[in-house]
Amino acid sequence: MQTTVESIRDANDQVQPLELSLVVPVFNEEESIGPLVERIAAAMVDYPHRWELILVDDGSTDATLVNARKFVNREELTLRIVELQRNFGQTAAMQAGIDTARGRLIATMDGDLQNDPKDIPSMVSELERRELDLLVGWRKNRQDGLLLRKIPSWCANYLIGRITGVKLHDYGCSLKIYRASIIKQVKLMGEMHRFIPAWVAGVVPSSRIGEMAVTHHARQHGTSKYGISRTFRVILDLLSVMFFMRYKARPGHFFGSLGLGLGGLAALILLYLGFDKFIMGNDIGTRPMLMVGVVLLLSSVQMITTGILAEMIARTYYRDDASPNYIVRQIFSRES
């Protein structure tokens, strides 16, 4: 029996919500998936509330899905496996898990055994105690390479904190606890999973976002899916985050400000050249400054018209778009 995300949403109104949904996106983790499920089950054995585990297979090409399905009928687990039609990326896989989750709280973590599920119950308690909407894990003693992982991460965390205003030590840690009512207001796209605290800050005050030191283990199986090239993607994504946080509802202000700045500079240049031509009587036809002034003037007009078009798009597309950025092939659960 195949089940879609839409049918699960329809049934949610009739099912008593679970307390916690644990979402784990996985991609080509055939050696890690078995130990991962066992560790999660052991870590949550004393958790006093109802919870579920959602594994999102992001188009794995190895035996990850086969190995995961072996645990579907485990009595002590409420396990559902969301199989995506192809590899959509970690952000889309995480969004699929969040959309499928039925818990009042949602936890996310990586599937490579580097996050420790034993931290989840204490993080849930800390989120409730501090009345937060998002609690982010801080890999204080990170077990990764210094040059390729730690240094780029430190630089990215600093830049993200300065630009977004959300001060955290570790944006990249996937171990996070959310209130479902909050995270389901945020639509994740592209590779924006590392900027989730910034997106959440657009829904709630940054004072309701906190962090907590968590355990971090060295990778035991497989290889990392990320390299040094990720740093450049982070910079590009960060520019997008800055734009959406500050100008999503008013993109015309962004492009218009650039256009007015360029137009003002062009006006000064052309006024100076006009004075030099008509008052001082000098020839300006071969002067490079004339070309610069004309190019700046044309750029100004282009920026302002782009801002007007962006305002029109923002008032239609972002208001009406509700389509998911992933495709679910099928969902496995004990009921099916």
Q: Of 123, 111, 95, whose CA–CA distance to 55 is shortest?
A: 111
Average pLDDT over residues 289-299: 95
The candidate with the shortest Cα–Cα distance to 115, out of 64, 28, 207, 39, is 39
According to the model, what pLDDT value does residue 335 have?
A: 62
* 298 contacts: CB under 8 Å, gap ≥ 6: none
**Helical H segments across 188-250, by residue range:** 196-200, 230-247
Answer with the residue of higher pLDDT: 158 or 263: 263
Output phi, psi for 80, to 5 deg: -130, 140
How confident is residue 13, by pLDDT bands cut at 50, 70 and 90? Answer: very low
The answer to whether residue 312 scores a pLDDT higher than 50 is yes
The pLDDT value given to residue 12:
47
Q: Quick count: other Cβ atoms within 10 Å of Cβ 225? A: 14
* pLDDT at residue 252, rounded to an integer: 85
- Provide the β-strand partners of residue 138: 213
- What pLDDT sits at residue 199? 84
Tell me which of 335 and 24 has the higher pLDDT: 24
Q: What does the pLDDT look like over 98-129, one tens digit per residue?
A: 999 999 999 999 988 889 999 999 999 999 99
Across the beta sheet with 328-332, what order do the strands follow? 209-213, 134-138, 176-179, 103-108, 18-26, 51-57, 79-84, 328-332
**Residue 165 predicted with pLDDT over 80:** no
pLDDT mean over 298-311 = 92
Q: What pLDDT score was predicted for residue 262?
A: 95
pLDDT at 237: 74
| Per-residue confidence (pLDDT) for residue 193, from 0 to 100 | 75
pLDDT in the model for residue 151: 65
Beta bridge partners of 178: 106, 134
Contacts of 316 (CB under 8 A, 6+ apart): none
Mean pLDDT score, 17-41: 92
Which of residues 330 and 68 earns the better pLDDT score?
68
User: What CA–CA distance (Å, rounded) separates 235 from 60?
Assistant: 28
pLDDT (0 to 100) of residue 226: 52
More confident residue, 244 or 205: 205
* Residue with the two structure tokens 């972002």: 318
Counting every residue, how long is the chain? 336
The pair of structure tokens assigned to 250 is 């008013």
Q: What is the pLDDT of residue 10?
A: 47
User: Using one digit for the tens of pLDDT, what is the confidence trace for 192-217?
Assistant: 777 888 888 878 888 899 999 998 88
* pLDDT of res. 58: 94
Q: How many CA atoms lie within 13 A of 229 on its CB side?
A: 3
The arithmetic mean of pLDDT across residues 71-92, rounded, is 91
| Residue matched to tokens 């479902």 | 180
- Indicate the pLDDT class of residue 222, thresholds 50, 70 and 90: low
pLDDT at 150 over 70: no
